[in-house]
Amino acid sequence: MNYCNECGANTRQAIPDGDNRPRHICSSCDTIHYQNPKVIAGVLPIWGDQVLLCRREIEPRRGFWTLPAGFLENGESSVEGAIRECYEESLAMVENCRLLGVFDIPYIDQVYILYRGDLTAPQFAPTPESSEVALFNQAEVPWGELAFPVVEMALDLHFQQSEQPQPASHHLVTRPWRPQAR
């Protein structure tokens, strides 16, 4: 960051009084510009023993499969964002959303909040964000074509717990990903 968002003056990096890490500080108005992780909200839509996945039509990872998820907007809760993203990416409606997990990804400054949600009907379609939308059971999931490590982790957690009457929610911290052989 070179310029202050408040007054346009140059910024410098320094540790503000009472803080413990360098921040961008305006050299004129002394505004401290904090940089915080991005929050991604999403849902793992369920229909019977199947889950809904979307093939990305946008970068990053265009052409790979993912859960419907995206950046949380100001003024919405994480579950509202997850439901909105599901509809925007698949035209699918979900209900009964339950927390699947919170996935901290500090090496890319992101936090994923993912829910399990029941599809209200097996109705879905591609959108400008998804070139293809489909239901998969565990054996059919295109494991080698998943867009992001967090998608694989979420699917693994879901399928491990799918027979449990009260599946647990999880908090996971991930490190840089290395693909695993399946």
The tens digit of pLDDT for each residue in 61-120 reads 999 999 999 999 999 999 999 999 999 999 999 999 999 999 999 999 999 999 999 999
Q: CA–CA separation, 107 vs 111, rounded Å?
A: 10
Q: CA–CA separation, 178 vs 86, rounded Å?
A: 27
Q: How far is CA 2 from CA 7, 24, 64, 103, in A?
A: 12, 8, 35, 31
Which of 50, 37, 57, 54 lies closest to 151 in space, CA to CA?
54
Average pLDDT over residues 47-74: 97
3-state secondary structure at position 135? strand
Residues ≥6 apart with Cβ < 8 Å to 94: 43, 45, 82, 83, 86, 117, 118, 119, 120
Least confident of 16-25, 102-111, 123-132, 172-181: 172-181
Q: How far is CA 141 from CA 43, 44, 136, 138, in A?
A: 16, 13, 5, 6
Q: CA–CA separation, 149 vs 175, rounded Å?
A: 10
Q: How far is CA 35 from CA 22, 25, 131, in A?
A: 10, 11, 33
Considering the chain, what is the average pLDDT of its residues? 93
